[in-house]
Amino acid sequence: MDRDALGHAMGNLADLVERLRAPNGCPWDAKQTLYTVRMYLLEEAYEVLDAIEQGSSEAICGELGDLLFHIVFIAYLAEEKGAFDLVRVTEKIIEKMIRRHPHVFGKAHVRDEKEVAVNWAKIKEREAGDKEQEKHFLNRVPVALPALERAHRLGERVSKVGFDWENRGAVWKKVAEEVDELREALEKQNREMVGEELGDVLFSLVNLARHWNFNAEDLLRLANRKFVRRFSLMEETVAAAGKELKEATAAEMDEAWNSVKRGSSHADGLNEGERVRKK
């Protein structure tokens, strides 16, 4: 990587953001605040994730650029308020990464990635100190995360203090227990109980995925993609028979769906496996 070119490009990006926010710049950009841009940042992050899962280098590059723009834009909004600037953002993350990698930049020694994770958690604990919002162990898992991702992070975090199932079999036993409780709620036709037990089943499945080194958020997103792909192929199959979906019977759609499934590989939802994030 050309460090001079990188510095020049980042400077140009910062200049571009400043120009957009100037009195004679873009009216839309000029009206944005930290609050209004927060969801755009989240959207761009998900588009990066989607590009990574698609495996397109060009798409990843483009989406990373969009995300980088929002980071620089948010830093500039903070600079306007006198809070901090992009330089401080960069300095702080460098300081943090050096502090959290004493086995690279210090004298600490680690045997494997698991020991790195344990040390990382200990360092984060020391950094937290006695801040009010950090007094409870799980407070640092963001509430705004998607529910499946947050469940994964909650399970991952408490596992670092030994609050976890001993093995995959124990987690599966818990899943089966929760399914039995859901079945009981269904038999009672108790809607409130059904909702609660469904949530418990989902939470236990997230932890089962975690124990198999998967992330349930990823798995469900990929399952969604598989469903969309198969449904679209089913739609094409029905159309090839001279019908629109709204005209097809349930039996005809089932037949088309099963035909699509027979023509699909077992791994089509996992996108050949290697793109499923492992945590």
- 35-86 pLDDT tens trace: 999 889 988 998 998 899 888 999 999 999 999 999 999 999 999 999 999 9
Reported pTM = 0.66
CB atoms within 10 A of CB 179: 15
Q: Rounded CA gap, 23 and 196, in Å?
A: 53
DSSP 247: G
Quote the CA–CA distance of 260 and 247 in Å, as a whole number.
19
Digit-coded pLDDT (tens) for 122-169: 888 788 765 555 567 888 888 888 899 999 999 998 998 889 999 999
**CATH class held by domain 136-211:** mainly alpha
Choose from 26-40, 113-127, 255-269 the range with maximum mean pLDDT.
26-40
pLDDT digits (tens, 9 = 90+) for 193-231: 999 999 999 999 999 999 999 999 989 988 999 999 999
What are the structure tokens assigned to 191, written together? 């809607």
Residue 272, pLDDT > 60, answer: no
DSSP 245: G
Lowest mean pLDDT among 19-33, 108-122, 170-184, 265-279: 265-279
Rounded to 5 degrees, what are φ and ψ at 244?
-95, 160
Give the burial class of 256: count Cβ atoms within 10 A of its Cβ; 0-12 exposed, 13-18 middle, 19 or more buried: buried
The CATH architecture to which 3-95 belongs is Orthogonal Bundle (1.10)
